[in-house]
C-alpha cells in the first residue's frame, strides 16, 4: 500500500546472525499454531528440526493482525491446543472470546514452556524450497542467506497470512496514512480528531469499525457486500465456565474424531425442515446467547435454502430493529447469498455503530469506488475527504502464502503450475509430485471451516505419525498417488456442491482475488479425521511409499 504506514513490514530491526547451513530431518515454515506444534512433535520424535518465521515473534496471523477490536470468533476455551493436559491446566483465558493480545501471549507461553524458540530463526522469510531428486531432500533457502537441506518440508505458512491489498487507482496519491488490518503497526494508531475511511466489511472490518468510530471524528464505511453478523456477547470467563469445560473436554475431544464430525454431516440430508416458527425461536435464543454457534442451529441450515432463507430473514429483521435509519439498515442487510457460506461475522456493537452521528455508510454497489485522490476517496457519485484510510480487505487465503514461496517438486515443477487450474492436495495435506512435503491445513482439508487450532493439531499428529511409520519401515519418500489425489479433490468438490457454500463469492472459493481459479478449497463433509486415521491404519492408502 501507498504510505509509510504500510511500506514497512513491521518486523523491526533485524539483528545480525550467521546464515544457517546444513542437514536436518525436517524444516518447518511458519511459527503460528501449526508450526509451533509441528516443531514440538517432531523434536519429541527425535528428529533434527529447524523452523523459519518471517515475524520477530511466534503467533502467525495473531502476530500480524493488530487492528482495533481484533479477537477470535471461536470461544477461547475451544481455540486452544488439546494435546497438553499441563498446558490446559496452566493457561486460564480471561474472556469468552479472547482478544489478539491474549492469544499472542498464549502462543508465546507455548513457545517458552516447550522450549521451541531454540528451534526457530525469526525475521527470516523462506523464499524457495525445491526437491532434489538425487538426494531425496528439500533444499530450502531464506531471505537471510540460509541454505538448509531437509528430508521433510512442513509448510505451516497459514491460511490467512497474505493480505489482499486491492490495487485501487490513485493509491500512491493519497496524502494520509493507509493501514491494512492484517499489517497493522505495532504502536497504537491514534484516530482522534481524524476523518477515517474503512474499506471492507468482513470479520476484520466488522470488528474494527465500532472501535475506530469511538475514536475518530468521522468514519466513512465503504461497503461492497454486506455480511451477516451476529453479536458475540463477549464476557469474562468465570470458574463455572472452566468447570463446565473440563467436564465436557473428554467428550469434545472424542467428538472431533467421530465419523460424523464435520461442518455438514449426513444428518443434514435426512433432517426434517423445521417450521418457520421453530426456526425463529431457535435463532432468537442463539442471538441472545451470542457467537458463531448460530450456525449450529439446524443441521440443514447450510444445505437447504428453505431453512437458510428464514435465518437470513431473521438477521435482516434484527438489523432493521437495531439500525434507526431505514436506508442504512437496508444497505447493511445482506441478500442474494445464503447465511453462513461466507464466514459469519461475530461482532460487538457493529450494527449499533451505524446509529452514531459520526458514522456514514457508503454502498459501493450503488456508487462504486473509482479511485483514491490526494484528499480521500472518489466514488462514481461523490468525493469523500479523509485523513486516514483503513483497508479491511482480507487475504489471499489458503494458497497465498504457499505461492509467495518458489516451491518446486519433481522435475522442477512449480507449485503454481501444478495448481494452475486450482489447488489439489490429497487429504489437503500432501501433493503429488511434491514428495515429503506436508501442508498444514492445506486446500482440501476442513481448515478454515472449523476450529483452526484443532485442525492444525490433527495435521501435525497425522504427519508426525506418518514420518514415524516411514522411519520404522525404512521408507524414505512418501507422496500421494495422483489418482487418489484426484479422487479426493473430486470428493471435496462434490461435498461442497451438496451444500449452499458455492452460492456466494467467498474467499473459500478464491473469489476475492482477481484471476484466482474458482475452486472450493475447504473440505466441508463429515468424518475427515476418521478418514485420515483409516488411511494411515491401512498403510497410508492412496500414498506411494518408497
Ligand atoms: P474478508 O472476509 O475477505 O473481508 C474483506 C472485505 O473487504 C469484504 O467486505 C470485501 O468485499 C471487501 N473488499 C475486498 N476487496 C475490496 C475492494 N477492492 N473494494 C471494496 N471492498 C473490498 O476479510 P477479513 O479480513 O474481514 O476476514 C477474513 C477472515 O479472517 C475471516 O473470515 C475470519 O476467519 C478471520 P466483498 O465481500 O469481496 O464484496
How far is ligand 1, taken at its centre, from the CA of residue 295, in Å? 20
> Average of pLDDT values for 191-196?
98
Structure confidence at residue 5 (pLDDT): 46
Evaluate if residue 534 carries a pLDDT over 80: yes
Q: What is the pLDDT of residues 247-297, one digit of tens each?
A: 999 999 999 999 999 999 999 999 999 999 999 999 999 999 999 999 999
Give the residue, out of 394, 396, 446, with the most ligand 1 atoms within 8 A of its beta carbon, to mutate for a pocket test.
394
Residue 446: CB atoms within 10 Å: 24
Burial 246-259 (b: 16+ CB within 10 A, else e): eeeeeeeeeebeee
Q: Is 146 helix (H, G, I), strand (E, B) or coil?
A: coil
Between the two ends of the chain, the Cα-to-Cα distance in Å is 47
Structure confidence at residue 317 (pLDDT): 98
Q: Looking at ligand 1, which atom is closest to the CA of residue 200?
A: 7
Q: Are 304 and 273 in contact (CB under 8 A)?
A: yes
Q: Looking at ligand 1, which atom is closest to the CA of residue 166?
A: 18
How far is ligand 1, taken at its centre, from the CA of residue 199, in Å? 9
Give me the percent of the chain exceeding a pLDDT of 70.
98
Helices (H), 114-224: 203-215
How far is ligand 1, taken at its centre, from the CA of residue 540, in Å? 38
How far is ligand 1, taken at its centre, from the CA of residue 225, in Å? 9
Q: Which H, E and C letters describe 277-345, residue by residue?
A: HHHHHHHHHHHHHCCHHHHHCCCCCCCCHHHHHHHHHHHHHHHHHHCCCHHHHHHHCCCCCCCCCCCCE
| Ligand 1 proximity of 203 Cβ (cutoff 6 Å) | yes
Closest CA to 434 of 543, 281, 541, 349: 543
Give the residue, out of 74, 179, 184, 203, with the most ligand 1 atoms within 8 A of its beta carbon, to mutate for a pocket test.
203
Residue identifier of the C-alpha nearest atom 38 of ligand 1 = 512
Q: Are 362 and 384 in contact (CB under 8 A)?
A: yes
| Cβ contacts of 483 within 8 Å, gap of 6 or more | none
Q: What is the pLDDT of residues 145-154, one digit of tens each?
A: 999 999 999 9
Residue identifier of the C-alpha nearest atom 29 of ligand 1 = 203
Structure confidence at residue 11 (pLDDT): 59
Q: What is the pLDDT of residues 77-91, one digit of tens each?
A: 999 999 999 999 999
Structure confidence at residue 7 (pLDDT): 41
| Cβ contacts of 354 within 8 Å, gap of 6 or more | 221, 323, 325, 328, 329, 332, 361
Q: What is the rounded radius of gyration, in angstroms, for the C-alpha atoms of the chain? A: 23
Structure confidence at residue 12 (pLDDT): 65
Q: Is 463 helix (H, G, I), strand (E, B) or coil?
A: helix
Structure confidence at residue 10 (pLDDT): 53
CA distances from 453 to 115, 173, 428 (A): 19, 40, 16
Evaluate if residue 232 carries a pLDDT over 80: yes
Q: Looking at ligand 1, which atom is closest to the CA of residue 201?
A: 9
CA distances from 128 to 223, 363, 401 (A): 37, 42, 12
Structure confidence at residue 138 (pLDDT): 98
Evaluate if residue 240 carries a pLDDT over 90: yes
How far is ligand 1, taken at its centre, from the CA of residue 197, in Å? 15
How far is ligand 1, taken at its centre, from the CA of residue 107, in Å? 26
Residue identifier of the C-alpha nearest atom 24 of ligand 1 = 394
Domains and their CATH numbers in the chain: 20-163+397-545 (3.50.50.60), 171-247+262-391 (3.50.50.60)
Evaluate if residue 4 carries a pLDDT over 90: no
Evaluate if residue 2 carries a pLDDT over 90: no
Q: What is the pLDDT of residues 326-379, one digit of tens each?
A: 999 999 999 999 999 999 999 999 999 999 999 999 999 999 999 999 999 999
How far is ligand 1, taken at its centre, from the CA of residue 201, in Å? 6
Q: Is 434 helix (H, G, I), strand (E, B) or coil?
A: strand
| Ligand 1 proximity of 340 Cβ (cutoff 6 Å) | no
Evaluate if residue 108 carries a pLDDT over 80: yes
How far is ligand 1, taken at its centre, from the CA of residue 115, in Å? 36
Evaluate if residue 8 carries a pLDDT over 70: no
How far is ligand 1, taken at its centre, from the CA of residue 342, in Å? 10
How far is ligand 1, taken at its centre, from the CA of residue 252, in Å? 31
Structure confidence at residue 455 (pLDDT): 98
Evaluate if residue 416 carries a pLDDT over 50: yes
Cell of residue 450, nine digits:
472449523
Q: Are 464 and 440 in contact (CB under 8 A)?
A: no
Q: Looking at ligand 1, which atom is closest to the CA of residue 394?
A: 23
Alpha-carbon distance 506 to 501, whole Å?
Answer: 9
Q: Are 389 and 377 in contact (CB under 8 A)?
A: yes
Q: What is the pLDDT of residues 417-437, one digit of tens each?
A: 999 999 999 999 999 999 999
Structure confidence at residue 169 (pLDDT): 96
Q: Are 139 and 405 in contact (CB under 8 A)?
A: no
| Cβ contacts of 257 within 8 Å, gap of 6 or more | 529, 530, 533
Mean pLDDT, the chain, integer: 96
Alpha-carbon distance 166 to 178, whole Å?
Answer: 12
Give the residue, out of 163, 179, 198, 204, with the most ligand 1 atoms within 8 A of its beta carbon, to mutate for a pocket test.
204
Alpha-carbon distance 320 to 323, whole Å?
Answer: 6
Amino acid at each position: 500500500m501507498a504510505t509509510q504506514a504500510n511500506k514497512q513490514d513491521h518486523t523491526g530491526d533485524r539483528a545480525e546472525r550467521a546464515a544457517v547451513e546444513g542437514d536436518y530431518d525436517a524444516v518447518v515454515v511458519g511459527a503460528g499454531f501449526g508450526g509451533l506444534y509441528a516443531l514440538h512433535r517432531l523434536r519429541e520424535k527425535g528428529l533434527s528440526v529447524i523452523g523459519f518465521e518471517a515475524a520477530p515473534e511466534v503467533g502467525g496471523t495473531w502476530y500480524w493482525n493488530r487492528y482495533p477490536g481484533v479477537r477470535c470468533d471461536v470461544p477461547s476455551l475451544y481455540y486452544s491446543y488439546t494435546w497438553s493436559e499441563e498446558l490446559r491446566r496452566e493457561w486460564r483465558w480471561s474472556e469468552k472470546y479472547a482478544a489478539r493480545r491474549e492469544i499472542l501471549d498464549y502462543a508465546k507461553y507455548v513457545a517458552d514452556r516447550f522450549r521451541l524458540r531454540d528451534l526457530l530463526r525469526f525475521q527470516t522469510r523462506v523464499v524457495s524450497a525445491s526437491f532434489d531428486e538425487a538426494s531425496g531432500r528439500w533444499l530450502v533457502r531464506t531471505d537471510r542467506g540460509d541454505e538448509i537441506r531437509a528430508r521433510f518440508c512442513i509448510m505451516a505458512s497459514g491460511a490467512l497470512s497474505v493480505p489482499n491489498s486491492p490495487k485501487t487507482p490513485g493509491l500512491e496519491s493519497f496524502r494520509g496514512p493507509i493501514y491494512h488490518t492484517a499489517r497493522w503497526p505495532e504502536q497504537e494508531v491514534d484516530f482522534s480528531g481524524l476523518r477515517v475511511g474503512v474499506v471492507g466489511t468482513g470479520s476484520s472490518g466488522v470488528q474494527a469499525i465500532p472501535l475506530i468510530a469511538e475514536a475518530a471524528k468521522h468514519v466513512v464505511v465503504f461497503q461492497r457486500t454486506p455480511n451477516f453478523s451476529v453479536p458475540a456477547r463477549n464476557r469474562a470467563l468465570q470458574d463455572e465456565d472452566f468447570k463446565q469445560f473440563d467436564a465436557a473436554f473428554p467428550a469434545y475431544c472424542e467428538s472431533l474424531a467421530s465419523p460424523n464430525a464435520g461442518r455438514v454431516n449426513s444428518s443434514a440430508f435426512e433432517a426434517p425442515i423445521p417450521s418457520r416458527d421453530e426456526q425463529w425461536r431457535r435463532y432468537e435464543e442463539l442471538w441472545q446467547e451470542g457467537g458463531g454457534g448460530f450456525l449450529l442451529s439446524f443441521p440443514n441450515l447450510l444445505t437447504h435454502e428453505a431453512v437458510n432463507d428464514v435465518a437470513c430473514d431473521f438477521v435482516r429483521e434484527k438489523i432493521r430493529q437495531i439500525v434507526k435509519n431505514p436506508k442504512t439498515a437496508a444497505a447493511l442487510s445482506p441478500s442474494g447469498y445464503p447465511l453462513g457460506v461466507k464466514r459469519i461475522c461475530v461482532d460487538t456493537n457493529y450494527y449499533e455503530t451505524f446509529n452514531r452521528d459520526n458514522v456514514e455508510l457508503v454502498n459501493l454497489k450503488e456508487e462504486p469506488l473509482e479511485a483514491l485522490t490526494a484528499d480521500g476517496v472518489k466514488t462514481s457519485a461523490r468525493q469523500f475527504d479523509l485523513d486516514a484510510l483503513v483497508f479491511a480487505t482480507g487475504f489471499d487465503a489458503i494458497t497465498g502464502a504457499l505461492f509467495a514461496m518458489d516451491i518446486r517438486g519433481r522435475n522442477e515443477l512449480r507449485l503454481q503450475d501444478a495448481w494452475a487450474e486450482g489447488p489439489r492436495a490429497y487429504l489437503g495435506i500432501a501433493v503429488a509430485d511434491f514428495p515429503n512435503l506436508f501442508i498444514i491445513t492445506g486446500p482440501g482439508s476442513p481448515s478454515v471451516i472449523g476450529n483452526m487450532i484443532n485442525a492444525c493439531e490433527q495435521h501435525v499428529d497425522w504427519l508426525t505419525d506418518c514420518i514415524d511409520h516411514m522411519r520404522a519401515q525404512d521408507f524414505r519418500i512418501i507422496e500421494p498417488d495422483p489418482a487418489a489425489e484426484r479422487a479426493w479433490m473430486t470428493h471435496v468438490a462434490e461435498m461442497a456442491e451438496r451444500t449452499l457454500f458455492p452460492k456466494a463469492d467467498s474467499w473459500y472459493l478464491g473469489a476475492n482475488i482477481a484471476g484466482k481459479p474458482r475452486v472450493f478449497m475447504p473440505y466441508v463433509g463429515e468424518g475427515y479425521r476418521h478418514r485420515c486415521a483409516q488411511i494411515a491404519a491401512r498403510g497410508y492408502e492412496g500414498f506411494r511409499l518408497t
